[in-house]
């Protein structure tokens, strides 16, 4: 089974190059992103991760994500937000225009306007933003009949396996398969108070932080005068390792998502044909050490920390997939075998990395206290995964749910070392099991991190180039 993916033509590539040069010309004093040296809470350095990812991981994980087993993800995008009414900017399914101001204006009138800079257009900018977000944030649900028939076969195969747990969401009538290659993670126009509410809820209510401590650059927090965030990091360093790790994982995920949006930004749209590419201004706004008062590089370091955690999980779960009983089943015998060979090859690379994070340093106190802390850790993360149902843009929700599930699966692996060591070679295990959804999320989430680090290298090159213009 093979579905074609639209590729940008040479004309679009040239347009992107021109747009990039124009963008660079407006950046006379770009400061290079300072992300170097050894990471906190581990013994690994940034340069080692860069080289390992560029030459070993990225080319292979990219190929793996194109395989049928890993390109289709089953997800329920219709679950209501369990915490608040979805009343933010464009925060309904497919990011429709209903919640936007002046929603009574017929969409056809706006669509028929040939000049975006007319006075009437300027007065309805929010409506245009919402229309753009509606279009860019919509999910492409195109699937061939052959794909649909294959999914029924896959479900029969999964039902015959011995699962560690059942995810109700997978069996929901509202759950659907999504082709991840047809729905890449990129800029959608989803922004403003609705998006900030999601991240604010994650950081403020689920990262073990008291209300009296304010995160740097939080637009929803009151002004702290001359405080540049040092009080926050003083508080963070005073936490136990496990709670510091939790915050860094969430911050790293946030940084990774922002990197994808900067690297795949809508640069221009001519005759209905969008041109996507890196947006240097947006990258600088989010990560430049001067514009972010030093916060940007810290966030990017947390991205590297998250990469290390998921890399470690892949190296630890390798024995699960190395067993002959585990089959990445799609019904295509040859492709399934090739996919498993590629996956095992990636696992060999992950095991060869010399500076892994030592997860044994976590939850190492007295058994009762460690067990309680681990459960608190798990519940906080589970709550974050539920918050992803509050994301107002479908495409953003898709990738948010996938990446949080991927990280959750990585944590499940790291906390199940004894069960993985006891896996039988030729029979199913009652102690540890991964569903297809967890496997697809795990590898695609790590693929997103690998892509983020590769994109960061590209931005560094562009920054160096811009400083010499």
For 27-47, the pLDDT digits (tens) are 433 334 568 888 888 878 899
125-175 pLDDT, tens per residue?
Answer: 444 554 555 555 566 665 566 655 555 555 554 544 433 233 435 667 788
Of 350, 333, 448, nearest to 69 by C-alpha is 333
Give the pLDDT band of residue 209 (cuts 50, 70, 90): confident
**What does the pLDDT average to over 240-254?**
93
Of 461, 452, 466, 459, nearest to 301 by C-alpha is 452
**CA distances (Å), origin 414, targets 106, 128, 310, 318, 432:** 53, 45, 9, 12, 12
Spatial contact of 256 and 449, defined as CB atoms under 8 Å apart = yes
Of 9-13, 70-74, 428-432, least confident by mean pLDDT is: 9-13
Q: What is the pLDDT of residue 268?
A: 87
Cα 34 to Cα 14: distance, rounded to the nearest angstrom? 30
Q: Is the pLDDT of residue 312 over 70?
A: yes
55-73 pLDDT, tens per residue?
Answer: 999 999 999 999 989 998 8
CA atoms within 13 A on the CB side of 52: 20
Query: Long-range CB contacts (< 8 A, 24+ apart) of 16-19?
Result: 16/267, 16/275, 16/276, 16/277, 19/267, 19/268, 19/275, 19/277
Out of 22-31, 53-62, 421-430, the most confident range is: 53-62
Give the pLDDT band of residue 106 (cuts 50, 70, 90): very low
Q: Torsions phi, psi of 419, nearest 5?
A: -65, -40
- How high is the mean pLDDT of the chain? 77
**What does the pLDDT average to over 288-310?**
93
Give the pLDDT band of residue 430 (cuts 50, 70, 90): confident
**What does the pLDDT average to over 277-293?**
92
Tell me how crowded residue 467 is: count the other CB atoms within 10 A of its CB.
14
Give the pLDDT band of residue 96 (cuts 50, 70, 90): very low
**What does the pLDDT average to over 222-226?**
57
Out of 152-156, 299-303, 323-327, the most confident range is: 299-303
Sequence-distant (6+) residues with CB within 8 A of 70 are: 64, 180, 339, 440, 443, 444
Tokens 């906190």 -> residue: 40
DSSP 63-125: HHHTSHHHHEEEE---PPPSSS---STT-SGGG-STTSTTTTS-HHHHHT-S-TTSHHHHHTH
The DSSP code for 8 is: -
**What does the pLDDT average to over 405-430?**
86
Residue 214 or 244, more confident = 244
Which pTM does this prediction carry?
0.79
Give the pLDDT band of residue 347 (cuts 50, 70, 90): very high
**CA distances (Å), origin 317, targets 60, 322, 332, 340, 424:** 18, 9, 24, 14, 14
* Secondary structure (3-state) at 141: coil
**CA distances (Å), origin 131, targets 75, 194, 425:** 24, 16, 54
Q: What is the pLDDT of residue 187?
A: 85
Of 45-59, 195-209, 355-369, least confident by mean pLDDT is: 355-369
369-416 pLDDT, tens per residue?
Answer: 888 888 888 888 888 998 999 998 888 999 999 999 999 999 999 988
**What does the pLDDT average to over 277-300?**
92
Give the pLDDT band of residue 293 (cuts 50, 70, 90): confident
């Amino acid at each position: 089974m093979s579905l074609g993916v639209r590729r940008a033509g040479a004309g679009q590539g040239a347009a992107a190059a021109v747009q990039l040069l124009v963008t660079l010309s407006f950046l006379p004093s770009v400061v290079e992103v300072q992300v170097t040296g050894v990471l906190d809470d581990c013994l690994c350095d940034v340069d080692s991760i860069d080289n390992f990812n560029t030459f070993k991981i990225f080319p292979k994980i990219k190929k793996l994500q194109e395989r049928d087993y890993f390109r289709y993800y089953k997800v329920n995008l219709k679950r209501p937000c369990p915490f608040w009414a979805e009343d933010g900017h464009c925060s309904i399914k497919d990011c429709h225009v209903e919640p936007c101001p002046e929603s009574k204006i017929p969409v056809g009138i706006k669509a028929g306007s040939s000049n975006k800079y007319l006075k009437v257009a300027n007065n309805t900018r929010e409506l245009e933003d919402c229309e753009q977000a509606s279009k860019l944030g919509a999910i492409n649900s195109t699937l061939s009949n052959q794909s649909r028939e294959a999914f029924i076969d896959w479900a029969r195969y999964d039902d015959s396996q011995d699962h560690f747990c059942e995810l109700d969401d997978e069996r929901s009538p509202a759950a659907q398969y999504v082709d991840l290659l047809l729905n890449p993670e990129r800029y959608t126009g989803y922004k403003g108070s609705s998006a900030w509410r999601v991240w604010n809820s994650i950081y403020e209510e689920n990262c073990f932080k008291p209300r009296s401590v304010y995160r740097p650059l939080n637009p929803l927090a009151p002004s702290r005068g001359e405080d540049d965030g040092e009080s926050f990091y003083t508080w963070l360093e005073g936490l136990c390792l496990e709670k510091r790790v939790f915050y860094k994982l969430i911050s790293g995920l946030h940084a990774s998502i922002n990197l994808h949006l900067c690297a795949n930004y809508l640069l221009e749209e001519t005759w209905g044909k969008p041109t996507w590419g890196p947006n240097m201004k947006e990258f600088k706004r989010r990560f430049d050490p001067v514009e972010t008062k030093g916060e940007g590089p810290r966030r990017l370091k947390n991205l590297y920390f998250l990469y290390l955690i998921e890399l470690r999980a892949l190296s630890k779960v390798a024995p699960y997939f190395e067993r002959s009983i585990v089959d990445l089943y799609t019904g295509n015998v040859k492709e399934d075998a090739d996919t498993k060979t590629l996956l095992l090859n990636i696992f060999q690379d992950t095991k060869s990395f010399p500076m892994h994070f030592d997860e044994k340093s976590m939850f190492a106190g007295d058994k009762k206290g460690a067990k309680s802390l681990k459960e608190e850790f798990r519940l906080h993360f589970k709550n974050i995964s539920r918050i992803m149902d509050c994301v107002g843009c479908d495409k953003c929700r898709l990738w948010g749910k996938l990446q949080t599930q991927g990280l959750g699966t990585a944590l499940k692996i790291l906390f199940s070392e004894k069960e993985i060591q006891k896996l039988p070679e030729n029979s199913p295990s009652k102690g540890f099991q991964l569903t297809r959804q967890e496997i697809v999320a795990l590898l695609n989430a790590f693929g997103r991190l690998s892509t983020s680090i590769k994109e960061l290298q590209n931005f560094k090159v562009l920054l160096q180039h811009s400083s010499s213009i």
